[in-house]
Structure 1
Amino acid sequence: MSTLRKISIVAILGMAFTLTGCATGPTQEQAGAVLGGALGGVVGGQVGAGRGRTAAIIAGTLAGAAIGGSVGRTMDEVDRMKVSRALETSPDHRPVAWQNPNTGHTFQATPTRTFQSAGQDCREYTVVGNMSGSRETITGVACRDAQGRWVNQ
């Protein structure tokens, strides 16, 4: 088994344990960290070869987790409600923007693809946050649960 494959399996298992360890579901910070880590690992895997590639995957995963987690950490209940509303009402590729009255941070949520998975309505989305002069982007997938709420996958 290749080193890249081993790292991928460890990363996937780590993400699975992180998500299943949260009885009430992952927080925005956790979801952002998982998504950012996964994307960072993929980007890191495109760089270098051999041991350099392995180091790039690890560095990309850690950097992505930190960035994604910081976006999730800065979002409060107002922002989560706005993202949920965008998933509920906005057509694909139509952004919904807002400024949080409590923090002054601005966000833009854009549903990018609507699909069915295991009988559930699901949507891929992108959230761009501008927090205190720092601009960060996360992507994710949310599916509607039995109660009609959008839940990050």
Structure 2
Amino acid sequence: MIKAIRALAVALVTALFLAGCAQHGGPTQEQAGAVVGGALGGLLGAQVGGGSGRTAAIIAGTLAGAAIGGNIGRTMDEVDRQRTAQALETQPDHRTSRWQNPNTGHEYAVTPVSTRETGGRPCRTFETEAIIDGQRETVTGQACRTADGRWEIQ
């Protein structure tokens, strides 16, 4: 369950960065990650638990998700957000953009998998791989470019 929570948290924290949600005056990256991770953990706990153990599974999932999401949110910064958006903007399908964050030492890789047009705007399916403290997580997402040029997770 923890591995699934971590993977979902990576995807949603990436979504928050691409959408520009961690702006001045808003929630910190760690706070946003903790909220997203906690919500996902609670949902996963509800799916896993049954009977009288369901409440315990929801609580455990929420706590684990908040911890993992907060950690991932804390590890991604503006460098990672910019590099992810740049990969979506410039890399052809199946070509990976890899980097190591100079501030954290964490490694990331974004690979656009396919490109299509939806509603008159470019959309891309992509795979994100993060290696944080030796833990490798890979998630797949979809993003479309907005009218102002940002990439927004769908």
1:36-57 deviation line (CA, Å, top 9, x unaligned): 3444334323323123123213
SS in structure 1 at match of 2:99: strand
Greater RCO, CA 8 A, separation 6+:
2
SS in structure 2 at match of 1:46: helix
| Aligned-pair identity (%) | 60
SS in structure 2 at match of 1:102: coil
Partners in 2 of 1:51 and 1:119 — Cα distance?
50
- 1:45-84 superposed matches below 5 A: 45-84=46-85
Partners in 1 of 2:54 and 2:115 — Cα distance?
34
Partners in 2 of 1:123 and 1:31 — Cα distance?
24
Partners in 2 of 1:135 and 1:47 — Cα distance?
23
Give the counterpart letter for 1:98 in structure 2. Answer: W
Distance 1:128 1:89, change over 3 A: same
Query: Is contact 1:67-1:136 (8 Å) kept?
Result: no
Gaps of 5+ in 2: 1-15, 23-28
- Offset at residue 105 of structure 1 (A): 1.9
Give the counterpart letter for 2:75 in structure 1. Answer: T
Distance 1:86 1:25, change over 3 A: closer
Query: Is contact 1:128-1:135 (8 Å) kept?
Result: no
The CA RMSD over aligned residues, in Å, is: 3.5
- 1:3-152 superposed matches below 5 A: 25-27=20-22, 28-29=29-30, 32-90=33-91, 94-111=95-112, 121-123=122-124, 125-131=126-132, 133-135=133-135, 137=137, 139=139, 141-152=142-153
Gaps of 5+ in 1: 1-18
* Paired residue total: 130
Partners in 2 of 1:62 and 1:123 — Cα distance?
33
Give the counterpart letter for 1:62 in structure 2. Answer: L
